[in-house]
């Protein structure tokens, strides 16, 4: 069983569209995250949720809106997609709110905006 699963794996869309990426974890973790990895492989945290509550919101455009219906799911909705949004988006989870808990990552969603 995949511990952290994201769908879709690939997403190709045009500028201006709205799209969503889904993430689910079956590890029983309390904290979930979204990371963005650009073409140079830099990993940057975007959001962090603990028990469905937002605890970190890094400087990302408000076109990006995370939603956590329950602590096992953290979805990412992106409005009005732009070329610069093209990247690989990783969902991750960890036990508890303490950041010394190892992160468990999904395998990423490669978003291409044309």
Partner 1 sequence: LAKITQPISMDSYEGQEVNITCSHNNIATNDYITWYQQFPSQGPRFIIQGYKTKVTNEVASLFIPADRKSSTLSLPRVSLSDTAVYYCLVGGRSGNTPLVFGKGTRLSVIA
Nearest CB to partner 1, comparing residues 5 and 13: 5
Write the binding mask 32 to 71 for partner 1: x where contact by CB under 8 A, - elsewhere. Answer: --------xxxxxx--x-x----xx-x-------------
What pairing do the DSSP bridges indicate for beta strands 73-78 and 19-25? antiparallel
Nearest CB to partner 1, comparing residues 81 and 91: 91
Taking a C-beta distance cutoff of 8 angstroms, is the pair 50, 76 a contact? no
The answer to the question of residue 21 lying near partner 1 (CB under 8 A) is: no
The answer to the question of residue 97 lying near partner 1 (CB under 8 A) is: yes
Specify the residue for token string 């979204």. Answer: 34
The answer to the question of residue 99 lying near partner 1 (CB under 8 A) is: yes
Task: Give the helix/strand (H/E) hosting 4.
Answer: strand 4-7
Q: What angle do CA 40, 50, 48 make, to 5 degrees?
A: 20
* Residues ≥6 apart with Cβ < 8 Å to 53: 68
Q: Which residues bind partner 1 (CB under 8 A)?
A: 4, 31, 40-45, 48, 50, 55-56, 58, 90, 92, 97-100, 102-108
């Amino acid at each position: 069983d995949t511990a952290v699963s994201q769908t879709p794996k690939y997403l190709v869309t045009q500028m201006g569209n709205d799209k969503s990426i889904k993430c689910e974890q079956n590890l029983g973790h309390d904290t979930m995250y979204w990371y963005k990895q650009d073409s140079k492989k830099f990993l940057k945290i975007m959001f962090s949720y603990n028990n469905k509550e937002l605890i970190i919101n890094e400087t990302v455009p408000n076109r990006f809106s995370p939603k956590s219906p329950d602590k096992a799911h953290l979805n990412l909705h992106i409005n009005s997609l732009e070329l610069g949004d093209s990247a690989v988006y990783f969902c991750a989870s960890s036990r508890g709110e303490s950041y010394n808990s190892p992160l468990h990552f999904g395998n990423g969603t490669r978003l291409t905006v044309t």
